[in-house]
Amino acid sequence: MTSPTSAPTVVLVHGAFADASSWAGVIDRSRRAGVAAVAPSNPLRSLTADGEYIAGVVSQIEGPVLLVGHSYGGPVITYASSKADNVRGLVFVASFGLDKGMSTLGSNAEFAPAELDSSLLPRTFPTGDGTGTEFYIRPDLFQSVFCADLPPEQAATMAASQRPATDTAFGEPLAVEPGWKRVPSWFVIAGSDHAINPDAERAAAQRIGATATVIEGGSHAIALSRADEVTEVILSAVQTVAK
């Protein structure tokens, strides 16, 4: 275990169709290991705005930070780590690995579509000067797409409480040099992901030069369903960046 003065704070950033409660298991396990962890709310409005928001949260934390992002949260921490000087490492969980000029959607274009792609439910929302488009996962398909390895009752609750993300969030290119170019990174690949093609996750990990761990049989919601294994990767990264 690292000492309180040297250990970074773990900042856990959720992705689309989820909220900060998706990190509950990781937070509990990190606390038991003596590592501070917080899970801010990701606005899910646009990559730049979300990245700036998380960078602002991180910049106000005293001491070093390990940023962890699930799914779309990965591009957000990639942006935020270019702005917050106290970020010492990045952990991507069932996520995307963007370089400057790449979008979340574009980064997966060469791979076979995941089940998510045909399961989205578009809705409009007011923007102040018009309307925008945001997406949910169809509730009847939510378990299969997002969390096939969780109990049906839990999946139904998650489907009912999911948070939508906008088309801008998914389609906006990364406008900054990614933080993974200056700090070490780790990548947890969900072997049975139906929201992101696992081959796309493998390619993303290779693109950014991350230390990769594959969780065989893990769904997109591995932070909940396989919290022990995900936390193990995070705590290993904590130990590395604290040295």
Phi-psi region of 144 (alpha: psi -120 to 50; beta: other; left: phi over 0): alpha
Section 155-180 average pLDDT = 98
CA 161, CA 57: separation in Å to the nearest integer? 24
For 9-109+165-242, which CATH class?
alpha beta
Question: pLDDT digits over 69-95, tens only?
Answer: 999 999 999 999 999 999 999 999 999
Q: What is the pLDDT of residue 176?
A: 98
CA distance 222 to 94: 8
Given a cut of 70, whether residue 5 has pLDDT beyond it is no
Average pLDDT over residues 154-161: 98
Q: Which of 2-6, 71-75, 107-111, 146-150 has the lowest mean pLDDT?
A: 2-6
pLDDT tier for residue 146 given thresholds of 50, 70 and 90? very high
Q: Is the pLDDT confidence value at 18 over 60?
A: yes
- Which one-letter amino acid corresponds to residue 221? A
At 2 the pLDDT is 40
* pLDDT of res. 24: 98
Could you state, in order of their start, the residue ranges of all structural domains in the chain?
Answer: 9-109+165-242
What is the C-alpha R_g of the chain? 17
Contact 122, 135 (CB under 8 A): yes
- pLDDT greater than 70 at residue 219: yes
- CA 37 vs CA 23, 44, 57, 131: distances in Å: 10, 21, 13, 36
